Structure 1
Amino acid sequence: MWNLSAPWWEFVLRGLIVYGAVLALLRMSGKRQIGQLTPFDLVLLLVLSNAVQNAMNAGDNSVTAGLILAVTLVAANAVLGYVTWRSRKLEILVEGRPQLLVHDGKVYQDIMRREHISFDDLNKALRHAGCNSVADVHFAILETDGTVSVKQHQQAAAATPGTSIWSKPGNDEAV
């Protein structure tokens, strides 16, 4: 139960390798998939966690190995969070940059395609922000967490008063 089948440092190294690889895979999957977790994405994460389990624990099912891996993964996440907070360059590498989807009613289809954002997803975000059409949008930005922030033109926002608390003139809406 407590005896390790490999040296403790091997579990730390295995955990760090798998953490880095999974982080890179999720980063490559795009912002939309991370920000809008669908049932398919949840299944993928559950299956992925099971798939990498043996790569981390080397077949060792001891409590000690599990605790070493848990501490390693939590520590790696905390260190990455601190380092990205301190370094803008590393933050951009790990989290990416916000992407402009719409500016003054013009939709940037190349960015939408690259980030796997469908027109239905964009229209949903615009509706949540109280926009009746793309022409009402001053800008819409795909944030690094996968949400879409929308700012209406002032005249469009004033023309649709009281539609919801989220569409008040001058407010930025994160959807």
Structure 2
Amino acid sequence: DPPLACSIDALSMSLQMRDPYTRFHCDRVGTMCEQLGRYCDLDATDLSHLALAARFHDIGKIGIPDNVLLHPARLDDDQRAIMRTHPERGERIFAATGRADAQAVARLIRGHHEAYDGSGYPDGLRGSDIPLAARVLTVVDAWDAMTSERPYRDAMERSRVMFLLEDASGGMIDPQVLGAFQHLLRREPGLG
């Protein structure tokens, strides 16, 4: 449907114009999530939802003020509280696209900072209460964020990032999804 495709293109352009780093991060996360989602045997519908959610998981950042979004150092507690609103903002933005799958995709966007142990946000979901596709997105989002250069730090070495993800396994990260990601990276070392 051309009007619905236009809404996705408009979201993509909005993200690009607001913050090019975030746009490219979302594109990389989208590519890796599709591969990991296939590896985790997501069905075609869930994989389609994951692909869109990954591409727009940070769309809510277009509503974050510049002094927070573009801050060149680590965020303080007040700034972090503002930044933590981006999953809910993103959920509302994507839900407004009018797509038949908008609610399913928006739910994944909302859930991409939930933690396997229930310590995440915005809802404090835990374990299997978090959709599998959102748990996939959490792993890939963390991987790409840490292996990419940021305004306040250099990109981390892949081995260091894997150590940190393993340390977060069972906490922020679903251990089974992390295991699948590790297998996928061994099989396709050029990924990510």
The verdict on a shared fold, with TM-score over 0.5 as the criterion, is no
Would you tell me which structure has more helix in proportion to its own residues?
2
Larger Rg over CA atoms: 1
Would you tell me which structure has more strand in proportion to its own residues?
1
Structure 1 length-normalised TM: 0.30
Structure 2 length-normalised TM: 0.28
